A and B are shown apart, each in its own frame.
Chain A
Amino acid sequence: MPHVLDTSVYVHFPWCAKKCPYCDFATRKRPAEAIPHEAYADALLRELVLRGDLRGRRLVSVFFGGGTPSLWAAEALGRVLAGIRGAFEHEAPELEVTAECNPQSLTAEKARGFAAAGVNRLSVGVQSLRDDQLRFLGRLHDREGALRALSDAAAAVPRVSADLMFGMPKQHAMDAEIEAVLATGVEHVSAYSLTIEPGTQFGELSRLGRLEVAPDDDVARMFQAAEARFAEDGFAHYEVSNYARAGAEARHNQHYWRGGDYLALGAAAVGCLGEGAAARRYRNVKDGDAYLEAVGGAASAADVEGWRETLGPEERIQEALMLGLRTTEGVDLGALEARLGCDPLTGREAAVERALATGELVREGGRLIAPRAQWLHLDGITARLF
């Protein structure tokens, strides 16, 4: 069998019922009745054709992200998924197909519909189980709604993940939220510390000195407390912001973190495909309507793209370090060298040596790993290797 390239597909759904004040993802507010369900599916399928030859590639995961994909008609999503699976020559067994959902738009019916369409993993944006904090985050759901969505999701698909956030003002602990979420039977939780991104509503408030968030000390304590709490229930802290029972890890995300190829479809979607030692990354035009128009008149996939860059081996090494060190498995140096044709540590020997001496990094077999105890300082550790 010739060399098969494992490839993931990311599909972006660019609309939300409401834009959250902390969110810097490409998304637009749009009422449900105004969403072009079928037209968007048609456009995605056309882009898939424009993206061309997928021979020699093996589909390893599909992720519907957004935006709020749970606003999308299940049939439309199903058509797109079927198109994607049909376009690949090979497919991994037990293909992971995830859809991101908001508790407010994830009805039991929608969950069943997605499952029927081929989705086998739902990632639910719970964020918090305290109503005051949900209001602070500008979410449309409450505690009840979140717990209901989780149980509806669990009833429909075999794998459910919940998103939680921490670092909200006056928040000192999140044990209660973790407990309640785990009680619903989820096997995977992403727990993010609230990040104030420039260009968001929160970013603007923060710039003006009007946004109160938890101090770093509290955030660091909650980060450590979360790890301990999850461990009690047998959840491993397998990436900086992700916890899972053994075998329940998000394969799609692991594929990113291992530096795998990913094809992107849809408005604002970002894809990255290797080309020898280099790689090409692209992002499609950001706005949903602009995307529909661009696909309509596109002669090639390039006409749908709004931005692109070429990554040389050095950038690819930097990304492999940046992403791999965030995971318990670390960076597979041998695999990286095989992929890029050069030793990834060349030129950074001294920095690696120092990090190994201070315990910031360890080497296990052919892997470079940042021990969990170092994760709170990971950016500095990684930057020193750049």
Chain B
Amino acid sequence: MSYPLERIRNFCIIAHIDHGKSTLADRILDVTGAITKREQKDQLLDRMELEQERGITIKAQGVRLPYTADDGTEYQLNLIDTPGHVDFSYEVSRSLAACDGALLVVDATQGVEAQTLANVYLALENDLEIIPVFNKIDLPSADVDRVKREVEEVVGLEVDEVLACSGKTGAGVREVLETVVKRVPPPVTDPESALRALLFDSWYDPYRGAMSMIRVVDGTIEKGGRVKMMATGATYEVTELGVYDPFPKTVDHLGPGEVGFFAASIKSVEDAKVGDTITLAKHGATEPLAGFKEVKPMVFCGIFPTDSDQYTELRDALDKLNLNDAAFFFEPETSEALGFGFRCGFLGLLHMEIIQERLEREYNLDLITTAPSVVYHVHLQDGSMVEVENPSSLPDAGQIAHIEEPYFDVSIHVPAEFVGPVIKLCQDRRGIQKQIQYASEDRVIVTYELPLAEVLYDFFDKLKSATKGYASMDYELAGYKPNKLVRLDLLINGDRVDALSAIVHKDNSYYIGRALAQKLKKIVPQQQFEVAIQAAIGSKIIARETVRALRKDVTAKCYGGDISRKRKLLQKQKEGKKRMKAVGRVEIPQAAFHAILKVDG
């Protein structure tokens, strides 16, 4: 059944983490009758196991829901789920671009929190109608009046009509949908234009190739038709077209304003780029929709199998993950210490953690990962420039004219009482203050230029603890700046461990070297022999610590009644060793390779 534009509403839900976005989405599916109780799984929209566990949405999806409003009119609601993390801000912005309105869910027991603001700004940038919704009113501590004032004063949204609901009990959810129908504007289209559809999500299906989630803006896409991806220029025949209701259902065409998926035997998600515009292969549109951008990895790390026998398995797993996630990059790398592995690039830290976890969980691999690094621009004496994203491959100091590192423009939204600690943190991290601006009487926006490397080193955790979790942060690449940077090496029993090298600022290098050696002393377990840990810059040793030899590691008694327990203790000891890599004769745990992240500069 096709719907006229005025009876289509495209909207999403935005919220601070844990404010109940997914529960409300489930309830909306429930209220519209899209799923029966039996089919209802907790947080149905979060497809992947990992997402469910971490409570964050990584992939955006769109669900079509028929809804009969109180006045008897039937509407097509398209609920578009958005990824919930700043690493995926580009994907978020494309999902929002597919919507015309957003439900801003605020936990009525908590109030406005860090990501609430960042989400609102993103929605405003995309011209969305924002409808505040106060959730969790079933809880006794809910205080809608107070939270409403916060939304008005802190977020700056007029709340003419208070929408209070409970995703848990379903109370007020129908009223929310009535408001969506009333306040979210219907899609706008240019009837003269050829097909233009925004690709806002893609994923890989082993049988059908890359699948794309699209929002049709102008024209109609039809099954069997030939379409063109405007960014890549490639053309495809649409082999399958469909919608999620929430279960996949094929359709013959999708018209203006509609949301759905298509398959076209596209080999990899690399060819179905988020943000691309789909038009007709012949007589297509000439102007793509605004906002397309190539995403580039910002953060790199080495990934190595703990057991070198798993190298091939690791490569196959990376290949498979790459099919589904074009933003993730990898190439072979050889480390003297860790053997054969891969240098991998990610959008950000969370993206990196997710990939690492999926490799271990879904592919059952034991991995050693090195500390994340940024891409340095290294200008050589001969006038050329090389990009270095692996500290151990920094050319000799003698060849280097100067090194530039990437900076981020970081804006931190924070209650006024925390401005002091935030400024101190940014100063400690080599930040350059840009602006301090009062958004309201007690909310401040602190803007700094910060080296990305410093942001990687535990900045989020430090910011969170300095502001009791109240800070929200947004960032974008601000370009490269030259700095006095040097390579800090770590030696274990006299041998340089390339995977432990780091690029640090010269002024902090002694301090970091000493702190790192001390940290490693605590991390490297006692071995049967003494282990010397040294930090060096060039050929100069700047710190030395010693891990004393382990004198005794043997169980006293082992008789019939105790054998099971002793066996389990040894199994546990073995599990602990799995996460260790033998570098020479010394067993080094995974944590050692991330120790640099925990050293305060």
Residues of A within 8 A of B (CB): 10, 12, 25-26, 65, 192-195, 216-217, 219-220, 223, 240-241, 253, 256-257, 262, 264, 268-272, 281, 283, 309, 315, 318-319, 322-323, 326, 350, 358, 375-380, 382-384, 386
Contact = CB atoms under 8 A, between A and B. Distances in A.
Interface in B544-572: 550-564, 566-567, 570-571
A217 B526 CA distance: 13
B481 to A, nearest CB: 47
B309 to A, nearest CB: 8
B573 interface: yes
Contact of B552 (A25, A220, A271): A220
B528 interface: yes
Given A270-B561, A281-B564, A309-B564, A318 B551 contact: no
Contacts of B554: 240, 375-379
B570 A377 contact: no
B560 A262 contact: yes
A322 B570 contact: yes
Contacts of A241: 556-557
Given A219-B551, A272-B563, 19 more contacts: A10-B561, A25-B561, A26-B561, A195-B555, A241-B556, A241-B557, A256-B558, A268-B561, A283-B561, A318-B567, A319-B563, A322-B563, A322-B567, A322-B570, A323-B558, A377-B550, A378-B553, A379-B553, A383-B570
Contacts of B564: 270, 281, 309
A323 B563 contact: yes
A192 B557 CA distance: 7
Query: Looking at B550, B563, B577, which has the most chain A CB atoms within 10 Å of its CB?
Result: B563
A318 B566 CA distance: 11
Contact of A383 (B561, B563, B574): B574
Interface of B: 309, 528, 550-564, 566-567, 570-571, 573-574, 577, 585
A383 B567 CA distance: 9
B559 A253 contact: yes
21 contacts: A25-B561, A195-B556, A216-B552, A219-B552, A270-B561, A270-B562, A272-B560, A281-B563, A281-B564, A318-B567, A318-B570, A323-B563, A326-B558, A375-B554, A376-B552, A377-B550, A377-B553, A380-B553, A380-B573, A382-B570, A386-B571
Contacts of B577: 383-384
B551 A217 contact: yes
A298 B499 CA distance: 62
Contacts of B574: 383-384, 386
A268 B562 CA distance: 11
A319 B567 CA distance: 6
A322 B558 CA distance: 9
Contacts of B570: 318, 322, 379, 382-383, 386
A269 B552 contact: no
Query: Looking at B553, B554, B557, B574, which has the most chain A CB atoms within 10 Å of its CB?
Result: B554
A98 B111 CA distance: 72
Nearest to A165: B556
A383 B560 contact: no
Nearest to A269: B561
Contacts of A319: 563, 567
What 6 A-B pairs come out closest when comparing CB atoms?
Answer: A383-B573, A220-B551, A386-B574, A270-B561, A378-B554, A383-B574
A273 to B, nearest CB: 12
A187 B558 CA distance: 21
A256 B559 contact: yes
Nearest to A360: B528
A194 B558 CA distance: 13
Nearest to A262: B560
B194 to A, nearest CB: 62
Nearest to A221: B551
Contacts of A223: 552
A376 B529 CA distance: 13
A268 B552 CA distance: 30
A370 to B, nearest CB: 10
Contacts of B550: 216, 377, 380
Contacts of A271: 560
A375 B573 CA distance: 17
A256 B556 contact: no
A217 B551 CA distance: 6
B552 A193 contact: yes
Nearest to A257: B558
Nearest to A215: B551
A270 B560 CA distance: 7
Nearest to A217: B551
Contacts of A253: 559
Nearest to B570: A383
Nearest to A358: B585
A379 B573 contact: yes
Contacts of B563: 256, 270, 272, 281, 319, 322-323
A379 B560 contact: no
A269 B560 CA distance: 9
Contacts of A195: 555-557
B561 A322 contact: no
A323 B585 CA distance: 26
Given A309-B564, A315-B567, A382-B570, A192 B556 contact: yes
Nearest to A240: B554
Contact of B566 (A26, A315, A322): A322
A14 to B, nearest CB: 12
Contacts of A26: 561
Contacts of A380: 528, 550, 553, 573
B582 to A, nearest CB: 8
Nearest to A259: B563
